[in-house]
Amino acid sequence: MKKTLSLLVLLAAFAVLFTACKGAEKPSTSSAPSFTVSTEVRINNDGNATGGWSKSVNAQPGDTVEFLITYKNTGNIQQNDVVVKDKLPDYLTYIEGSARYYNAANPSSAGGHAASDEVTGAGLNVGNYAPEADAMVTFCAKVAGLDALPKGENAITNTGRVETANGSKEDSATIIVNVQ
């Protein structure tokens, strides 16, 4: 019993010395920038959206599609000068004046805020975002007509991009157009 007690005291003393030499663990207080981006699509002919937002829709030649690019600051520091952009692929044409953005100051219930057409050019600066804040950009594009699309199934993939001082991220949505 005396040997066991002596061994336990020796192990406890070793643990104290090891901790003192190693130093106490300190919780991390570093700031970590992080964000997410998603791109979704829906049919929106004549201003009448059909169906909800999704990663893929089936469309007809000449349909109008609407894209939604969503940014969310998931880090623990503010991100400034967040830029949303989109370079439309072949067979999609941007509809001028259709871009809008939404955030806490411009909620969807109030119709958002009309945005410049630069979303498909140099990009649209949607401002500064605290942790957990988000922004959404929507805009419309016209699917090419029957005579411009190749026969068969056309998967037209559009990629939205968000750029911050902490990097950039992309996400895509697809329009499927069958041409007989």
CATH code for position 94 = 2.60.40.740
Q: How, if at all, do strands 64-73 and 79-86 pair? A: unpaired
Range of the domain at 132: 35-179
Angstrom distance (rounded) from CA 134 to CA 35: 9
Number of folded domains that form the chain: 1
30 in a structural domain: no
pLDDT tens string 48-97: 898 899 999 999 999 999 999 999 999 999 999 999 999 999 999 999 99
Reported as a single tens digit per residue, the pLDDT across 152-169 is 999 999 999 999 998 999
Angle, CA 8 vertex, CA 5 and CA 14 arms, to 5° = 145
- Tell me the residue type at 163: E
| Residue 148, domain member (yes or no) | yes
**Does a structural domain hold residue 65?**
yes
Determine, yes or no, domain membership for 20. no
Decide if 159 is inside a domain: yes
8-27 tens-digit pLDDT: 444 444 444 444 444 444 44
Encoding tokens for residue 166?
A: 């902490």
